Each structure stands twice: as C-alpha cells, then as structure tokens.
Structure 1
Amino acid sequence: MLQRVHPPVPDADDDRVEAARRSLAAAIQQRAPEGQLFRLPDLPNLAMFRSGTSAGPVCGIYETGVALIVQGSKRVLLGNDSFVYGPDHFLIASLNLPAVAQILEATPERPYLSVMLRLDAHEIAQLMMDGHVPPPRPQAAERAMGTGRVTPALLGAFQRLVALLDEPTSIPALAPLIQREIVYRLLMSEQGDKLRQIGSAGSQSHQIGRAIDWLKTHFAEPLRVEALAEMVRMSPSTFHHHFRALTAMSPLQYQKWLRLTEARRLMLADRIDASTAAFRVGYESPSQFSREYSRQFGAPPMRDIAGLRGQPQAADSAA
C-alpha cells in the first residue's frame, strides 16, 4: 500500500518571526548609519546598530536594558564570563555593566543588525507592585547579565515599537504601552528574575544598583568602599561580595573602568590630550593613567585614539 506523505505544514510562529525580523532589518538598514550606535530622537530609550564588518573587541558600558540581534552574532565578555548570542536569543543586563564586545558575523552583503532598549527600573517596580509578575526568588550570587530565548511575542513587540517611527504622531500614546509590554515579557522570561531583583527595594541587586548609580556620577572622586557600603546599608564584606558577584569586578575596578572609559571618550570626542583627560577623570599621575589605560584598551592613550578615529565601528558597545 502506498502511503501518502503530506508536506510539512508551515509553522505560524516561524512565519511571524521571519516577518518581524525582515521588518526590523529593513528599519535598521534604513535608519542606522554604518558603525555607529544610533539613538532615535523620537524613542530615546531605543537604539540601533549596523555594521558590515566584524568589529571589536570594544570596551564599553552595557546599560540596564535588553539587546536583540536581528542579523549576525556577537560575543560579550563580562569578567571571565562569555555570552555568545545571535537572532534566537536576547542579551539582558539588569545593572550598568562594563563589558567587552565583539561582532562575530557581519559582511557588507549581510551586515550585523541589532536593536537595544534601555529598561526603566521604575517601570519594573510598578509592574511588580501591580501584581502582574511573580515576586523574585531568594537571590543567589550570580551575574547581572544573561541570555534568554527570543519568543515570537517579544520580537513582535519590538517590531511594533520600531514601526511607530513611521507614524510619529502615535508615539506618545502607544510607545509607553509597547515598552511596558516588552518589560512584562522580559520579567516573565527565563531571565526575568534578574529584573525582578532590581525592582525589589531592599534586595542586594537593588542596593548594588544604587551604589553603581553613585559611582557613575562621582567616579572622579576618591572612593572609600566602606562609606559606599554604608550608604546602601550593607556591611563592607557583604557589599564587596555581592558587587563582585553581579558585576564580575570590585567597586574599585568598576570605578577605574568608568574613569578610563570617560577619559577615552574625552580624548576621542573633545580631542584633548591624555594628561588633561587623566586629571579630569580623577587621576593624579599621568604615568599611572597611561599604564592602566594600556592594560584596559591594549594600547597607550594617543595610539589607541588614533586607531579609533580610523575605525568608526568602534562606537558600538551595547547593541
């Protein structure tokens, strides 16, 4: 007896995902300049990135947010932890984290394309207070960065958010609703507990987040770790342990990263010399600044800056 073999029925979710990716890819290709992290004036929490070449490694700060790759792949290093992801996974950071990123797959014909959305801790807390998501589990000492699987619903929400750029009059009314949906879907994802922790006042992640906020605005000042721990109501030993567990570095290392990254920005954007940049970010010794800069970025300050001016793709750090 002959058995009739029916062709496989197309999966509706697969069709939705492919359509959403095509739509996002077209929007990024249309709007994002080559090799630059492009923030959208009408949607200030949203950024896009496009690169036709593999780039990196690049040092930078990953803000609290989520990054989706529409095309290509990337590796992100946080301390000794490596996160490699592509279109099927998102990268989430629940705190502002210094990391090293490298694009792995990109060609002029098939460029690397990504989109990033900054997340608002107040929005996370509000969704939790409204009772729409479960409370966080007892916190384990783990990194404040991770990858999760992209669902059709999450990708569709990003597509609808980006599509609003074609109808700017609808952005004030609809963008907050779609961004709230994205936050909700992330909170309910396999990486949701990382976000639920920062939305819970009194949790270690929330307290470390407050310390990081202080460091971001006072990094040029002398740092006493004991005073910072007291400010966020943690013992110095507990503070140091959780800070390193979440960020993969000590508070002093974090401050150093902020100083060096800001000095690099000043030299690149404002074209000031290395000694002036060093003093502005809190260094008293230009020679110490040069040594630490070389260790972090792989070259002395002025040589590194000269190289960056010839490589616009180095602007990518978080998408």
Structure 2
Amino acid sequence: MSQTLENLKNFALERSTGAVTQTAVPRVDILNVREPTELFPEIYQPLVSLILQGRKRLSIGSEVLEYGPGDTFIASVELPVVGEVVQASPSAPYLALSLTFKSAAVAELMKDAGEQVEMNQTRTFNVYRASEDLLNAWTRLLHLADRPHEIGVMAPMLEREILFRLLLGPQGAILRQVASVDSRFSRIRAVLAWIRKNYTAPFRAEQLAKMAGMSVSAFHRAFKASVGLSALQYQKHIRLYEGRRMLFASPGNVSVVALTVGYQSLSQFTREYTRMFGIPPARDVKSLRQN
C-alpha cells in the first residue's frame, strides 16, 4: 500500500461516523463496514469509488467484480447491483470513498481538453488500479471536509481534477461515454432512462430497438454489453429492487407492492423476488429490519 493511500485511509477512518458518512463535500461519501456482509441491492448512479481497506464483491448481471485497496470502480450509467463486503473487521473495517458525478461536468471537461468520444465503447463499468495522481486528487478533495469555507470554490475544481485523471487512465473510455450525444451508447442510455421511468409498463424488444435506432439483434447486443443484462432483466431488477425498497421503508401488503411495481400476480412477484434475494418478501423484509 502506498503512503498516499495509507494516509487517505487513516484520514477517512478518523472522520467516518457510521456505515455511510456524508461528508461536507457535495456527493462525496465515506463507507465504513465493520464485518463481512451482504449489502442492500441498489441502483448505482454514475459514480467513481476508491477502496481504501478491505475487499468488496459486486454482482452486475451475470458478471462479478471483486476489488480491494487502491482499486477504483467506475460506472457511467445507472446500474442495478448487489454488493457484498467480503473482508472487514472491527479493527480493519472495509473503507471506501464514493463520488457521484454529473454528465455535464464530464462533457465540459472533455470540451476543454479537446477529448474525442470513443464511438465503439459500450461497456459501462469496470475496476482499475488508481494512479498516484488520482490518489493525490482524492486526498485534496477529502481534506476539504476540514476546511468548509473552501468547499464552494475548491470542490468543483478538485472533482474536475479527479475526472480528468480518470480520463487519462484506462477508465477514460468508460467515462467518455457520459459526454456522448450521438454515439450508440447515448442511444442505449436513452433507453435505460425510459425503462427506469416506465419500469411498470410492458414493452416489446422492437419498440426499444426502434427507440435506439437499431435492429433488434444489434440492440440486444449493445444493451447487454452496456449493463450486463438484457432489457427485460434490467426492468425486472428495477421492479424487484423498488419493491424491496418499498417493503423495507413501509412494511405492509405484499400484494399491493407487487401490483405497484408492475406485477400482475402476487405469486409471480414472490417467485421472482425469492429467486433474486434468496427468501420470500415478507421474511426478507423482516430479516432486513431486524438487522
């Protein structure tokens, strides 16, 4: 472990106050998990995270990524993920930083840097090793938490530096997609947004392919390459994650939740929920709330 990473780990550990600490720096969080555990399935926003200590495993569709200290995870679209902390203890907790970013910031940076969007890149997530320059940028950004009067001016500049360092590294191809306005990826991104907005509505593959301006076969390939799931699987994940969130936030009638998220029958919802999360909805939510 580099000294920069060690210093960053110690700084984050001293300032974390729980499992998730929202720092004074906008959209920058510290994660601190003290034992191996399954994490709540969620939809990742476009983000970059840096692992400081411990190890984590992410399942995205059929793909599994595992990463540890000094690794950076980046996602350029909203992704349904299931996370699992696989190495953590009270004396050496899992520690990570996360920064959600906006596509406008990437587009502005690329315009200023004269960057060209790669048109053939469709993968939207991956894990890479953080460079020393990237670690230094993270350090300066996190230290702003102790200088709140500087945050308004310096935080946008340091976020911009982090994005710039990412553009220069192997993550650049993924990040460049965020600023694309006419590539195949931008058309897939528009379909993703439509599905998230209309996740309760049925659709046909031909409808989505037409929306993306592609043949059905080309659309299937591009969509699965982007998020690791087919369009139907992506919709199912959104429905089930939203159903689980509803039940966790306000336990109640499972039948009502099933209908609310687009299922026509309780039995189908229960069957697919159990397949996704391992146990039926009522038992799952009871266990989550107890824990």
Q: TM-score, normalised by structure 2?
A: 0.93
* Secondary structure at the counterpart of residue 268 of structure 1: helix
AA partner of residue 135 (structure 1): Q
Distance 1:212 1:79 in 2: 15
Out of 56, 74, 87, the residue aligned to residue 69 of structure 2 is 87
Cα separation, partners in 2 of 1:168 and 1:268, compared to 1, 3 Å:
same
Q: Any conservation in 1 of the 2:56–2:86 contact (CA below 8 Å)?
A: yes
CA offset at residue 121 of structure 1?
A: 1.2
Q: Any conservation in 2 of the 1:128–1:134 contact (CA below 8 Å)?
A: yes
CA offset at residue 140 of structure 1?
A: 4.6
Out of 4, 9, 33, the residue aligned to residue 21 of structure 1 is 9
| 2:48 paired with 1:60 | no
| Alignment correspondent of 2:268 | 288
Distance 2:183 2:38 in 1: 35
Out of 56, 71, 84, the residue aligned to residue 74 of structure 1 is 56
Cα separation, partners in 2 of 1:278 and 1:38, compared to 1, 3 Å:
farther
Distance 2:5 2:187 in 1: 37
CA offset at residue 102 of structure 1?
A: 1.1
| 2:127 paired with 1:147 | yes
- % identity of equivalent residues: 36
Moved over 4 A (4+): none
Q: Which runs of 5+ in 2 are unaligned?
A: none
Distance 2:114 2:138 in 1: 20
Distance 1:71 1:170 in 2: 28
Q: Which runs of 5+ in 1 are unaligned?
A: 1-12, 312-319
Q: Any conservation in 1 of the 2:199–2:235 contact (CA below 8 Å)?
A: yes
Out of 274, 296, 299, the residue aligned to residue 279 of structure 2 is 299
| 2:116 paired with 1:135 | yes
* Secondary structure at the counterpart of residue 37 of structure 2: coil
CA offset at residue 240 of structure 1?
A: 1.8
Distance 2:213 2:276 in 1: 31
CA offset at residue 107 of structure 1?
A: 0.5
Q: Any conservation in 1 of the 2:25–2:144 contact (CA below 8 Å)?
A: no
AA partner of residue 22 (structure 1): N
Distance 1:38 1:214 in 2: 31
| Alignment correspondent of 2:226 | 246
Distance 1:136 1:206 in 2: 11
Q: Any conservation in 1 of the 2:32–2:95 contact (CA below 8 Å)?
A: yes
Q: Any conservation in 2 of the 1:27–1:162 contact (CA below 8 Å)?
A: no
Higher RCO, 1 vs 2 (CA within 8 Å, ≥6 residues apart):
1
Cα separation, partners in 2 of 1:276 and 1:87, compared to 1, 3 Å:
same
Rg comparison, structure with higher value: 1
CA offset at residue 58 of structure 1?
A: 4.6
Correspondences of 1:91-130 after superposition (within 5 Å): 91-130=73-112
Q: Identify the range of structure 1 (246-255 vs 95-104) with the bigger mean alpha-carbon deviation.
A: 95-104
Q: TM-score, normalised by structure 1?
A: 0.85
Q: Any conservation in 2 of the 1:133–1:188 contact (CA below 8 Å)?
A: no
| Alignment correspondent of 1:237 | 217
* Secondary structure at the counterpart of residue 307 of structure 1: helix
Distance 1:46 1:213 in 2: 24
Out of 227, 237, 240, the residue aligned to residue 260 of structure 1 is 240
CA offset at residue 167 of structure 1?
A: 2.3
